[in-house]
Amino acid sequence: MDRRSLISAAAALYAGRKLRGVLPRPTPSPAQLRWQRDERALFVHFTINTFTGREWGDGTESPQLFNPTALDPRQWTRSARSAGFRSVILTAKHHDGFCLWPSQLTSHSVASSPWKNGRGDVVRELADACRADGLGLGLYLSPWDRHEQSYGDSPHYNDFYIAQLSELLTRYGKVTEVWFDGANGEGPNGRRQVYDWPRIHRTVRALQPEAVIFSDAGPDIRWIGNEKGIAGEPNWASVDPETVPVPGLSGDRVVRQLQHGDADGSVWRPGEADVSIRPGWFWHPEEDEKVKPASELLDLYYHSVGRNAGLLLNVPPTTSGRFHQNDVRQLEAFGRLVRDEFARDEAHDAKVRRTSGFVELELGRAVPVRVIDLREDIQFGQHIARHRVELRVNGRWQVAVRGSTIGNRWLHRIAPTKADAVRVVVEESHDTPRVERVGVFGE
């Protein structure tokens, strides 16, 4: 590089740094804010795989196989609601291409199945159940379609896909989340499909302007980078959109960005942590005894919601079309654990002293502190990069725990410590720190 280009490169770098410092930091849209406050969504993987015992169908399955004996989406929504979930996201179409609604675009759907003599519609029944139980409706439409002949002929399949998406977004009332996974295989003859993501996003915006769009690359909600339900630490809601421009990329840089976000990221795109209550996403009878116990689900709650992410927990119906009793039992027990865990905020009548970046709570009595529940006022963006929590034990302050980001919610679990005052000190922040809430939970 010659001297002139060196100087201009240095100037550009400097301008970039300065710009980053003066550009406003990103903030959530109203839909993203609502989504973050909801915390918990239930994932429902159900399709022809439920009947074949597979995780990925290859698209050659006969629709005759789909025949739930007692489909009951109201059972799903009741369990979801009782466990504190605010929406349900259904695999309207998984990779095998079978549609759980009677799509006009293909005969590979419930309309060709014996279920309800081909007159059933799972999406409709779920939409009705969600409405009845006051839950949001989310739909997963797999871009990868192993049945559809036009797959791999990019313009044709893109038209087909947009038409299916439009059916889903116009027939069933309000949709709160549209879910796009990143799996993208070869089409027939080895042709690779190039998806038209801008058109897909435009379609969702036009037909369901209040829905959030999920994928590795957002644009509203990002995948957390693993299927274990665990967010990174730190975890920023902001990302650098250039690092994950489209779904389906892999590599350390991509995973790091998904797990942690980016303190200087220009775009607001909080993480959603998906995980299944069982080893697989779909129901397999041999996994009936492998349902995660409620205590493990509570740990996942701490590692997702408690780390500034959303928890998306999958519960797969059986061939009956209902959740298995083992899943229902653990799901409901999980709901009770969360309720008990946060039943009594010992700080609710505390005397509060606060300045920017410092909050002190006088509890008025000694409490065996077990959980500290922090919230940043993210309407104004996420800025806190490092903080610590101190407890006053027998009149002396001691550091209980150090943390990094806070965001919508950060939960610290500590060994129970009897303290009569709690302090949160922000040690580093990218802009004015706003600790909105400090909850203190005892034994």
Q: Which residue is nearest to ligand FUL (CB)?
A: 181
Does 281 interact with ligand FUL (rule: CB under 6 A)?
yes
27 contacts: CB under 8 Å, gap ≥ 6 = 268, 378, 379, 380, 381
Provide the minimum distance between the beta carbon of 390 and ligand FUL in the complex, in angstroms, as a whole number. 41
| Residue 128, both tokens | 């009705």
Per DSSP, the three-state class of 435 is strand
Per DSSP, the three-state class of 412 is strand
Q: Please, which residue, 94 or 375, has the CB nearer to ligand FUL?
A: 94
Provide the minimum distance between the beta carbon of 183 and ligand FUL in the complex, in angstroms, as a whole number. 4
What is the contact mask toward ligand FUL in residues 54 to 83, using x (rule: CB under 6 A)?
Answer: -x----------------------------
Per DSSP, the three-state class of 264 is coil
How many angstroms separate the CA atoms of 331 and 80, rounded? 8
Count residues contacting ligand FUL (CB under 6 A)? 6
Provide the minimum distance between the beta carbon of 55 and ligand FUL in the complex, in angstroms, as a whole number. 6
Amino acid found at 57: G
Q: Please, which residue, 92 or 371, has the CB nearer to ligand FUL?
A: 92
Which of 38, 181, 216, 272 is the binder for ligand FUL (CB under 6 A)?
A: 181
Does 145 interact with ligand FUL (rule: CB under 6 A)?
no
Provide the minimum distance between the beta carbon of 195 and ligand FUL in the complex, in angstroms, as a whole number. 14
**Angle of the 122-133 helix axis to the 73-82 helix axis, nearest 10:** 30
What residues are paired with 426 via a beta bridge? 387
Contact yes or no for 265/236 (Cβ under 8 A): yes
Q: Please, which residue, 143 or 357, has the CB nearer to ligand FUL?
A: 143
| Residue 29, both tokens | 């849209």
Provide the minimum distance between the beta carbon of 225 and ligand FUL in the complex, in angstroms, as a whole number. 13
Does 195 interact with ligand FUL (rule: CB under 6 A)?
no
Length of the chain in terms of residues written: 443
Which of 262, 272, 274, 376 is the binder for ligand FUL (CB under 6 A)?
A: 274
Q: Please, which residue, 93 or 324, has the CB nearer to ligand FUL?
A: 93
DSSP state of 10: H
Contact yes or no for 308/375 (Cβ under 8 A): no
Looking only at residues 348 through 387 of this chain, which bind ligand FUL when binding is defined by CB under 6 A?
none
Q: Please, which residue, 76 or 268, has the CB nearer to ligand FUL?
A: 76
Classify 278 in phi/psi space as left (phi over 0), alpha (psi -120 to 50) or beta: beta
Stretch of 179-187, 235-243, 260-268, 342-350 contacting ligand FUL, by CB under 6 A: 179-187
Cis-peptide into 234, omega within 30 deg:
yes
| Residue 115, both tokens | 């279920």
| HEC secondary structure over 19-57 | HHHHCCCCCCCHHHHHHHHHCEEEEECCCCHHHHCCCCC
Q: Please, which residue, 219 or 229, has the CB nearer to ligand FUL?
A: 229
Looking only at residues 30 through 59 of this chain, which bind ligand FUL when binding is defined by CB under 6 A?
55
Does 223 interact with ligand FUL (rule: CB under 6 A)?
no
Looking only at residues 293 through 312 of this chain, which bind ligand FUL when binding is defined by CB under 6 A?
none
Which spans of this chain sit near ligand FUL (rule: CB under 6 A)?
55, 181-183, 274, 281
